[in-house]
Amino acid sequence: MQRFVMTGDYHTHTFYSDGTSSIEDNVIVAIEQGLKEIGITDHGFNHVSGGIKRTDIPKMREEINNLQQKYPQIKILLGIEANLLNYNGDVDLTEDDIKSLDYVILGIHKLTFGKGVKGSFRFNLRNFFWDTLKHRRKITQSYIKAMERYPIKVIVHPNYATGCDVAGLAKACAEKGVLIEFNGKRIYFDDQEMQTLIDSDAKFIIGSDAHRATNVGKCMLQYEFLKNYNFPLDRIVNIKYNE
Ligand SMILES: [Zn+2]
Ligand SMILES: [Zn+2]
């Protein structure tokens, strides 16, 4: 399989959530890595240990506007890694939040404040302990409902925190034009799921999920993994071949 590098990294964290670097640190590494675009996607508001505050959004936007002037060679985007909150497809975003952001990526995380204590408790508990086929189907339906209600660009790290029906998710993502992420921190698909993804019509994206700037734009883990499957690289939207 041809070697590749990323052209844009649309999944990076800063110290506004649980990362350890500043937005500028991420931008500098992105430029060093030769990226054309970088997205800052800190954790959404209902993430228990690392969610940003709504008042951070205007601060982050102002910082990005200033950095954009300082570093015109790269496009800097403000996104968010929103949280799927329950089986109904509720996501921790309001209309106003969406308007103030450039894009949204969506994931499930281990502990989120849901809608109401009871619903949230049950959802989190099931994600921890009831990884059944029925649960996975419900999770997938929930992703689909969320995609219908919110302008989601990417489903990040499917199968993290709780499993899903990868075939059902890939079909829905293909229909709705939502990308499926290969995550830079860990691999979340087994052999059978990889075959399902290859056989689907879905498109993919690589995200570093960098929690410190040094990891921005790096995709060695995904390269080594995808090589095993001779993955069709033309279906990954943010890479170019490294001659
Ligand atoms: Zn995540
Ligand atoms: Zn992340």
pLDDT one-digit tens code per residue, 171-220: 999 999 999 999 999 999 999 999 999 999 999 999 999 999 999 999 99
The residues, ordered by sequence, that sit 6+ positions from 49 with a Cβ below 8 Å of its Cβ are 18, 111
Q: Helix axis angle, 117-129 relative to 133-149, nearest 10°?
A: 130
Tell me, yes or no, if the pTM score tops 0.85.
yes
Helix (H, G, I), strand (E, B) or coil at 223: helix
Hey, what are 42's tokens? 């800190």
Find the helix or strand (DSSP H, E) in which 202 lies. none
What's residue 122's pLDDT?
63
Which region among 110-114, 123-127, 188-192, 215-219 has the lowest average model confidence (pLDDT)? 123-127
Span from the CA of 206 to the centroid of ligand 1 (angstroms):
13
What's residue 129's pLDDT?
64
118 has a pLDDT exceeding 60: no
Contact 140, 169 (CB under 8 A): yes
Task: Tell me which ligand sits closest to the C-alpha of residue 108.
Answer: 1
105 has a pLDDT exceeding 90: yes
Span from the CA of 224 to the centroid of ligand 1 (angstroms):
21
Domains, the chain: 4-241 (3.20.20.140)
- Choose between 240 and 123: higher pLDDT: 240
Span from the CA of 79 to the centroid of ligand 2 (angstroms):
11
Residues with CB under 5 Å of ion ligand 2 are 81, 209
* CA distances (Å), origin 205, targets 10, 55, 135, 219, 222: 9, 29, 26, 11, 10
Span from the CA of 156 to the centroid of ligand 1 (angstroms):
7
What's residue 1's pLDDT?
87
62 has a pLDDT exceeding 60: yes
117 has a pLDDT exceeding 60: no
Task: Tell me which ligand sits closest to the C-alpha of residue 47.
Answer: 1
* CA distances (Å), origin 135, targets 117, 144, 163, 168: 20, 14, 8, 13
What's residue 7's pLDDT?
98
Span from the CA of 107 to the centroid of ligand 1 (angstroms):
6
Span from the CA of 11 to the centroid of ligand 1 (angstroms):
9
Span from the CA of 243 to the centroid of ligand 1 (angstroms):
32
